Structure 1
Amino acid sequence: MSWIVALLVLSVLIFFHELGHYSAARFFGVYVEVFSIGFGKKLASFQWIGTQWQISAIPLGGYVKMKGQDDLDPTAISNDNDSYNSKKPWQRIIILFAGPLANFVLAWFFFYAIALGGPQSLSPVIGKVLEASPAQQAGLKTHDKIIAINGVTITEWDELSEYIKTSQGTLTLSVDRNGTQRFITLTPRISEATNLFKEKIQQRMVGIAPEGVTHTLDLSFSETITYASKQTYETSFLIFQSVQKLLTGVVPAKEVGGVVSIVQITADATAYGWMSLCFFAALISVNLGVLNLLPIPALDGGHIMFNLYEMIRRKAPSEEVITRLTIGGWVLLLGLMSLGLYNDITRLMQ
């Protein structure tokens, strides 16, 4: 049952991505011939508002086929008023960007739903104090709860960690120890740490680790808006970073996952309740948005690149260039999908 839910979630994310393209295209008067969830053989379809809406056999994505646009045949253009090609480059860019934008907006709503449900956050309670660290030398102990730093209230472990990393000079910590408030002064030390991508970095640290205690965030209306916006931004930035680290070799190719990993992780999330499912749905939605903006000719980002070129040079790239780059883009995209599928199968076998 969880796998069915996962496939439904993935289909919903794809549907909204394509709905973004469809809505923008219709707004600019472009005739949309086909709206498909999935690729390959058509399984079911119906005709509505002049468009053929269909579900196809391979659930690896979807597409909106607009009049005058065909990724498999870049030369299949049309000069009719209701064709994609007849629109100005800036209009085409909006149509192309509308798909990824729909994914970012959808992710925001998922995070907003989580905010309304009362998300869990790691409390600033110390679980471990490292030997000979500034924290131990200053007298911090296990189970101490950090209330404030330099007069700034601390409610979450992430706030504590970020404040220490970006601080300068000596810090005065307000600590709750067994119901008694204490003030402890210490100076962070530059130490070597490992970031999310397993890179060695230097940062200010005091030598403490969290106890693992969590609390429920009781957010006001404005705070739910802020929470959803912050989560959407930070998740998007993290995925952009991940792509950059992958391209520079920091993240090994074996870490690339495919649709099997996506479905499996989403299926696992259903076992932990609706909030976990919403979180992973938001994460995947942002992934779809970010990856589709990459300047690969087979993706939205590649087409945006062609239109930006046309805006700057006042002429479109030659059909030969578009054809070659599009074929190259599909080869690269299929190669990445194959790599992801290979890694998925390898993980399943292990």
Structure 2
Amino acid sequence: MLTVIIALLVIGVLIFVHELGHFIAAKLMGVKVEVFSLGFGPKILGFKKGETEYRVSAFPLGGYVKLYGEHPETLPSVVEKDKAFAFKKTWQKAFIVVSGPLANFILPVLLFWFLFWVSGSYLLSTKIGEVLPDSPAEKAGLAPGDEIIEVNGKRVKSFDELVLYLKSKETVNEVLLKIKRGSQVLEVKLVPETKEGYNVFGKKTHVPFIGVKSTQEIVHQKHGFIEAFKLAIEKVIDITTLTFIALFKLFTGDLPFSTLGGPITIGKMAGDTAKLGFYPLLSFTALLSVNLGIINLLPLPMLDGGHLVIFSIEAIRRKPLSLKTQELIFKIGFFIIIALSIAVFYNDILKLLSGWKLP
């Protein structure tokens, strides 16, 4: 039960923020918002204020903002053209559409900002605890107690960053490490070995190996208000970059489709994270928000990214697509979304049948 409640709360917040982005942008562009709904399907409860009906609907895994004059079939009945979405300029329509995903990027920046400012960072020290015998590190003269400061000119703040850097590369011809040894700062060059291991996405592959282990020392760093904001932006950029790389690897087949999860997976992860505490749950919510923003920007019909593609085509053609073409595009998009939804639900069910239990 805890899993369901936590999952609905997390998903509800993300949906609300996404739709609020569309809502605010629509208001700024002078478009009438007819309905603001959390959830799909039949209305459970709601109220009307001004020209907008605010409602909670039966199926919580989604939401929508219904704009006046948005759908092709409603255009013949449009009376107030100045308030209709379809009659706005292309850049105004694009702004309204992109504001939903944009809100899903703003939220994690704010959440990570809060987390870095209030609780700081807990990092695995970059000090070397052990140098493996006959390894590239030993041959290069590295020793226990050396603190790694930079790798190939990139500052590393934690041992995890060093590991992540190596796992993200299939081959590294040479690594230049800047290390601190006592009061000295030295530069050490080494050539990693290539060994069988797992990359950053969990796929078995060959990864560079230098042969050092961490001291397992945890360092707590506090951050000021401004520094925390900068770190939050960097964190969101890193997550976004990794997500796009993962999507590319899914497309090329380097990452199996079975790694994708749906609402059940999200629910389990939310429940597990909630048990760790409030701050980890906020971090998970931020991560999920970035993913939601990216997914909505994919150039698929019915998603925000699909709308942006259509607006781009209209801008190039300098005239809107025909109603028949738009209807066909959205029917194709609906089919794709349903197919993807079935696929991720199938992955969830397989995980449950394999003995994966919900908390």
Q: TM-score w.r.t. structure 1 length?
A: 0.88
Contact 1:149 1:174 in 2 (8 A): no
Distance 1:231 1:88 in 2: 35
Deviation (angstroms), 1:247: 1.5
Following TM superposition, by how much is the alpha carbon of 1:119 offset from its aligned partner in structure 2, in angstroms?
2.3
In structure 2, what is the equivalent of residue 173 of structure 1? Answer: 179
Matches within 5 A, 1:138-153: 138-142=140-144, 144-146=145-147, 148=149
> Structure 2 vs 1, CA of residues 275 and 40 (structure 1 numbering), >3 Å: closer, same or farther?
same
Match runs of 1:1-350 below 5 Å: 1-70=2-71, 74-77=72-75, 78=78, 80-116=81-117, 117-142=119-144, 144-146=145-147, 148=149, 155-158=157-160, 160=162, 171=177, 173-175=179-181, 186-192=188-194, 194-197=198-201, 198=203, 200=205, 205-350=209-354
Q: Which moved more, 1:156-165 or 1:308-317?
A: 156-165
Give the AA of the match of 2:276. Answer: Y
Task: Provide, for residues 107-142 of structure 1, a one-character-per-residue CA deviation record: whole Å limited to 9, x for no partner.
Answer: 101111110111211211334433321212345445
Distance 1:49 1:192, change over 3 A: farther
Against the structure 1 CA distance between its residues 235 and 66, is the aligned structure 2 distance closer, same or farther, given a 3 Å change threshold? same
1:148 Cα deviation from its structure 2 partner? 4.0
8 Å contact from structure 1 (residues 192, 200) kept in 2: no
Return the alpha-carbon distance in structure 2 between the equivalents of residues 127 and 219 of structure 1.
Answer: 26
Superposed CA offset, 1:189-231 (max 9, x none): 143364213274665x532233433221211222101110000
Aligned partners of 2:136 and 2:193 also within 8 Å: no
The worse-fitting range, judged by mean Cα deviation, of 54-63 and 120-129 is 120-129
Percent identity between matched residues is 37
1:171 deviation in Å? 4.5
User: Given residue 146 of structure 1, which amino acid in structure 2 is its aligned partner?
Assistant: E
- Asked whether the equivalents of residues 149 and 179 of structure 2 are also in contact (C-alpha less than 8 Å), the reply is yes
How far did residue 269 of structure 1 move? 0.7
Q: CA deviation at 1:2?
A: 4.8
- Is the contact made by 2:175 and 2:192 (CA closer than 8 Å) also made in structure 1? no
Once the two structures are TM-superposed, the CA of residue 320 in structure 1 deviates from its matched residue by 1.9
RMSD: 2.7
Q: Please state whether the residue corresponding to 1:271 is helix, strand or coil.
A: helix
Residue by residue over 1:236-259, the C-alpha shift from the partner in whole angstroms, topping out at 9 and shown as x without a partner, is: 111122222112211111111111
**What's the CA shift for 1:163?**
8.3
Tell whether the 8 Å contact from 2:122 to 2:218 is kept in structure 1 after alignment. Answer: yes
Q: Could you list the runs of 5+ residues in structure 1 that have no partner in the other structure?
A: none
Q: Report the CA distance between 1:162 and its aligned residue.
A: 7.6
Following superposition, the deviation at residue 311 of structure 1 comes to 0.8
Distance 1:163 1:33, change over 3 A: closer
Query: What's the counterpart of residue 357 of structure 2?
Result: none
Q: Does the CA contact (< 8 Å) of 1:148 and 1:175 recur in 2?
A: no
Q: Name the CA shift for 1:172/1:118 in 2 (closer, same or farther; >3 Å).
A: closer
- Contact 1:138-1:185 at 8 Å conserved across structures: no
- Secondary structure at the aligned position of 2:43 is classed as strand
SS in 1 for 2:39: strand
Which sits farther off after the overlay, 119-128 or 165-174? 165-174
Would you say the 8 A contact 1:134–1:187 is kept in 2?
no
CA distance in 1, matches of 2:287, 2:334: 25
Which shows bigger deviation, 303-312 or 234-243? 234-243
Give the distance between the partners of 1:184 and 1:32, measured in 2 at CA: 62
Change (3 A) 1:215 1:44: same
- 1:170-201 C-alpha deviation (Å, 9 max, x unpaired): 6453235xxxx677764321433642132746
Would you say the 8 A contact 1:138–1:184 is kept in 2? no
Shift of 1:331: 0.8
Q: State how far apart, in whole Å, the 1-side matches of 2:199 and 2:26 are.
A: 42
**Residues 237 and 329 of structure 1, relative CA distance in 2, 3 Å threshold:** same
Q: Distance in 1 between matches of 2:223 and 2:173?
A: 27
Structure 2 gap segments, 5+ residues each: 355-359
Compared CA separation, residues 258 and 172, structure 1 to 2 (3 A) = closer
Contact map agreement 2:33 2:65 (CA 8 A) in 1: yes
